[in-house]
Amino acid sequence: MNYTFSDRVSTLKPSVIREILKHSSDPSVISFSAGNPAPEAFPTEEIAVLSAQILKENPIGALQYSLTEGYPPLRDTLKEYMKTHHQAIREFDELIITSGAQQVIDLATKVLCNEGDVILCESPSFIGSLNTFRSYNVRLRGVPMEDDGMDLTALEQALKEEPNAKFIYTIPNFQNPSGITMSLEKRKGLYQLAKQHQIIILEDNPYGDLRVSGEPLPSIKSMDEDGLVIYAGTFSKVISPGLRVGYAIAPQELMQKMVVGKQCSDVHTNILAQIICDEYMKQYDYNAHLRRMKDIYTRKSSLMLGEIEKHLTPKGITHKPVEGGLFVWCTLPDGVDMMEFCNRAVQRKVCVVPGSAFLTDETAPCQSFRMNFSTPTDEQIVEGVEILGQLAAEMIPES
Amino acid sequence: MNYTFSDRVSTLKPSVIREILKHSSDPSVISFSAGNPAPEAFPTEEIAVLSAQILKENPIGALQYSLTEGYPPLRDTLKEYMKTHHQAIREFDELIITSGAQQVIDLATKVLCNEGDVILCESPSFIGSLNTFRSYNVRLRGVPMEDDGMDLTALEQALKEEPNAKFIYTIPNFQNPSGITMSLEKRKGLYQLAKQHQIIILEDNPYGDLRVSGEPLPSIKSMDEDGLVIYAGTFSKVISPGLRVGYAIAPQELMQKMVVGKQCSDVHTNILAQIICDEYMKQYDYNAHLRRMKDIYTRKSSLMLGEIEKHLTPKGITHKPVEGGLFVWCTLPDGVDMMEFCNRAVQRKVCVVPGSAFLTDETAPCQSFRMNFSTPTDEQIVEGVEILGQLAAEMIPES
């Protein structure tokens, strides 16, 4: 039989980049290409204790069908947490549990965009979100990144030129892939522009709790007096990604539609995992856990940055500062072929992600690549960066 | 702010039926309106043992990011099981894990249908699937049900009249809501029609293992020599719905697109739950478990049917035979207002689902209502059906 696919998935093609990434599952390869949180940061023993407790005390509650909106006690715990610690939820907002933050991205697009509509996003941006947007047959308009976040002049221009723009997608903290953190001034400016143009902001904050230096900045959602912001949060980076528990905060009217959308997608999120997250926040010292994570990430990011500065910086490879998150964004000098660099690195068993993977237009010129410091071991970081340094020495002429 | 929603969710409106169903969460109400499997059938102790074992022996594997296609050992276990026990997977097929069978429905629609396309479905059919279809802005064409399954003459007519029909949706075993099982002859006839018209069949089989009488019939997927069938299976009714683990079997080319679609939806399914299902199938006697479930469901369905025949049949309320599944489909005599019957039942604290909820056109005339026997206790079944009998006596004139 000849299968005919929908337009939305016909446009999603496997890319050259995937070919490179295939190698990252080879155990003999040092992978700097993943986005996995550091496994040593998972509270594995606590999860084992909680899981046993829940399955003993409330097995039916943990295993029966549940509500699409999420496990009510977890919703209450998160509402309280987001109010007290982040001032990121107001009277007019609602909070629901999702199957990871990816589902927030999916549901926001589902309820807001018709085919052919436009989404304004940082370029580069998280490839997972860009692909979700693409799966709705929307058009992506990239807004260039500056060192302190989105170029607001370019954003304003885009808002004027794109009457069918439905929302602005941003990762303000330690953006994936660039590592860039949006300044307070730009957060305020972005919010004002959105208000002026009456457009929704989708604020994705998976890494917010993983700050390794500098002072925390308020979320855009915390400025949301007008009901413009959908906030995506997740336990993936702070408790466990395998549990697939995320959450969305948005004005009730928006949330009602997202709940209907979620019911059509997966009915509800795994309930045992939701109870584990709730009991973890209740029974353990969540802030102490975040401090432990911070220590792990501070050490790993410093190690990688040190090695980069030793082996890559002298070759003219620059990198963005790292205040948190999981990634370092490196840029090769002009004239060096970035794809060739990534391909030759793989041949030497070191895998990094070509920066073009994260562009709204994957064919645009790009000199950057993304490196992850949370998944590899310390030894792999030292060895892998040294190999990249040797490769750089061969490919980059002495200046 | 005034929110503007996408066309696909603007058409999904809360219905009159939801108003009735709201009452089913009131603990003083006897709910025959749920679709929950019997909680006493969950292997709760075994799940607790397995969960402890997995979190002790392989915590990182259970908690880290995993593959979109699913946990490889579970995929292998299910492939073997579906091959050996159901002959429902061939060389050209692939099997992936999904977040419940609802996600199979969602992904099939995502990869096959453009907006405005047509899906042919049994009418009545499962409201969850119908709403998922509607969320893709497709048009539903209902095919009437006969006592042995879809009316194939009507289906053939529909296939001729609908050139944009992308697939035929069927629940061949103990259909939700009608309880009807498609005969072997019709399964073969349906497959032949699909082959002749080169159209895909989406076979949804959540209840197949819950047969309480009669002989098992081969799935349509087992006849699929031509790669026409997408099969949706699930652990929701046999292990636990709260774990949200389902699976899809389909030709590889289709499956590749569904995997891309799943990546955009939720990245992957909760991995701890996948390992629990795999280890359950490996470490315990799965067939003995299915026999225990069969005993529970045989007893509960017999109890409800006995009460119905005592209290409702004498009033002229007919019901479809029950060979398995979770539901009894009852039909009021002509001239009795079905919605009024359901509304008055709720006032007397008994909740059933108005049959119109399951129609492709909810406004079409309907005399039927759906009753569930798996969730209520034995006492609730006896008491609730008696109350419906009293109501029927008041609303239905003696003939």
- Where residue A18 falls among pLDDT bands split at 50, 70, 90? low
Predicted confidence (pLDDT) per residue in A366-386, tens digit: 999 999 999 999 999 999 999
* Whether residue B24 has pLDDT greater than 90: no
* Chain A residues inside the 8 Å CB shell of B266: 99-100, 102-103, 106, 244, 265-266
| Predicted pLDDT at B207 | 93
- Of A65, A128, A261, nearest to B36 by CB-CB distance is A65
In terms of residues, how long is chain A?
399
Q: Please give the residue of chain A at the shortest CA–CA distance from B128.
A: A264
| Predicted pLDDT at B157 | 98
Interface test with A, best of B2, B3, B11, B254 (most A CBs within 10 A): B3
Interface test with A, best of B1, B40, B57, B66 (most A CBs within 10 A): B1
* Whether residue B399 has pLDDT greater than 70: no
Among candidates B135, B60, B146, which has minimal Cα distance to B105?
B135
Do A244 and B257 make contact, defined as CB atoms within 8 angstroms? no
Least Cα separation, residue A118 to chain B (angstroms): 12
- In contact, B358 and B372? CB cutoff 8 Å: no
Rounded mean pLDDT, A346-359 = 94
| Predicted pLDDT at A246 | 98
- Of B52, B99, B244, nearest to A52 by CB-CB distance is B52
- Of A5, A100, A272, nearest to B112 by CB-CB distance is A5
- In contact, B316 and B333? CB cutoff 8 Å: yes
According to DSSP, residue A218 is labeled -
* Chain A residues inside the 8 Å CB shell of B1: 198, 200, 226-228, 251
* Chain B residues inside the 8 Å CB shell of A7: 114
Alpha-carbon distance of A380 to A293, in angstroms, equals: 20
Least Cα separation, residue A393 to chain B (angstroms): 34
Joined together, the tokens standing for residue B288 give: 């003995």
In chain B, % of residues over pLDDT 90: 90
Least Cα separation, residue B63 to chain A (angstroms): 4
CA B379 to chain centre: 26
- Where residue A15 falls among pLDDT bands split at 50, 70, 90? low
Q: Please give the residue of chain A at the shortest CA–CA distance from B228.
A: A1
Least Cα separation, residue B391 to chain A (angstroms): 30
* Chain A residues inside the 8 Å CB shell of B56: 48
Phi and psi angles of residue A134, each rounded to the nearest 5 degrees, phi first: -60, -30
How many C-alpha atoms does B95 have within 13 Å on its Cβ side?
A: 24
Do B102 and A47 make contact, defined as CB atoms within 8 angstroms? no
Predicted confidence (pLDDT) per residue in B228-272, tens digit: 999 999 999 999 999 999 999 999 999 999 999 999 999 999 999
Least Cα separation, residue B128 to chain A (angstroms): 7
| Predicted pLDDT at B34 | 86
Instruction: Locate the DSSP E strands across B223-378.
Output: 229-234, 246-251, 318-319, 327-331, 350-351, 353-354, 368-372
| Predicted pLDDT at A302 | 97
Do B253 and A3 make contact, defined as CB atoms within 8 angstroms? yes
Do B60 and A44 make contact, defined as CB atoms within 8 angstroms? yes
| Predicted pLDDT at A105 | 98
Least Cα separation, residue A39 to chain B (angstroms): 6
Alpha-carbon distance of A101 to A35, in angstroms, equals: 14
| Predicted pLDDT at B13 | 64
Alpha-carbon distance of B240 to B234, in angstroms, equals: 9
| Predicted pLDDT at B17 | 65
Average pLDDT, chain B: 94
| Predicted pLDDT at B12 | 74
How many A-B residue pairs are in contact by the CB < 8 A criterion?
233
* Whether residue A19 has pLDDT greater than 80: no
Predicted confidence (pLDDT) per residue in B112-140, tens digit: 999 999 999 999 999 999 999 999 999 99
B58 to each of A39, A136, A209, B394, how far by Cα in Å?
12, 37, 26, 61
CA A45, A51, A57 angle in degrees (round to 5)?
135
Sheet of B327-331: strands edge to edge? B318-319, B327-331, B368-372, B353-354
- Where residue A58 falls among pLDDT bands split at 50, 70, 90? very high
Do B228 and A55 make contact, defined as CB atoms within 8 angstroms? no
* Chain B residues inside the 8 Å CB shell of A113: 6
Do A114 and B7 make contact, defined as CB atoms within 8 angstroms? yes
Interface test with A, best of B136, B264, B275, B276 (most A CBs within 10 A): B264
Predicted model pTM: 0.96
Do A42 and B55 make contact, defined as CB atoms within 8 angstroms? no
* Chain A residues inside the 8 Å CB shell of B201: none
Predicted confidence (pLDDT) per residue in B25-74, tens digit: 788 999 999 888 998 999 999 999 999 999 999 999 999 999 999 999 99
Joined together, the tokens standing for residue A251 give: 């004005």
Q: Please give the residue of chain A at the shortest CA–CA distance from B239.
A: A63
Alpha-carbon distance of B355 to B365, in angstroms, equals: 10
Do B244 and A270 make contact, defined as CB atoms within 8 angstroms? yes
Provide the residue type at B174 as one letter: F
- Of A4, A227, A236, nearest to B1 by CB-CB distance is A227
| Predicted pLDDT at A25 | 73
Alpha-carbon distance of B4 to A113, in angstroms, equals: 9
* Whether residue B15 has pLDDT greater than 60: no
Least Cα separation, residue A311 to chain B (angstroms): 30
Least Cα separation, residue B316 to chain A (angstroms): 34
- In contact, B277 and B119? CB cutoff 8 Å: no
Least confident of A33-42, A312-321, B10-19: B10-19
| Predicted pLDDT at B218 | 98
Do A266 and B264 make contact, defined as CB atoms within 8 angstroms? no
- Of B44, B59, B103, nearest to A44 by CB-CB distance is B59
Do B48 and A55 make contact, defined as CB atoms within 8 angstroms? yes
* Whether residue B201 has pLDDT greater than 70: yes
* Whether residue B14 has pLDDT greater than 60: no
* Chain B residues inside the 8 Å CB shell of A167: none
Do B242 and A9 make contact, defined as CB atoms within 8 angstroms? no
Do A266 and B99 make contact, defined as CB atoms within 8 angstroms? yes
Do B44 and A65 make contact, defined as CB atoms within 8 angstroms? no
| Predicted pLDDT at A11 | 75
Rounded mean pLDDT, A103-111 = 98
Do A6 and B111 make contact, defined as CB atoms within 8 angstroms? yes
* Chain B residues inside the 8 Å CB shell of A56: 48
* Chain B residues inside the 8 Å CB shell of A128: 263-264, 267
Do B244 and A267 make contact, defined as CB atoms within 8 angstroms? yes
Least Cα separation, residue B227 to chain A (angstroms): 7
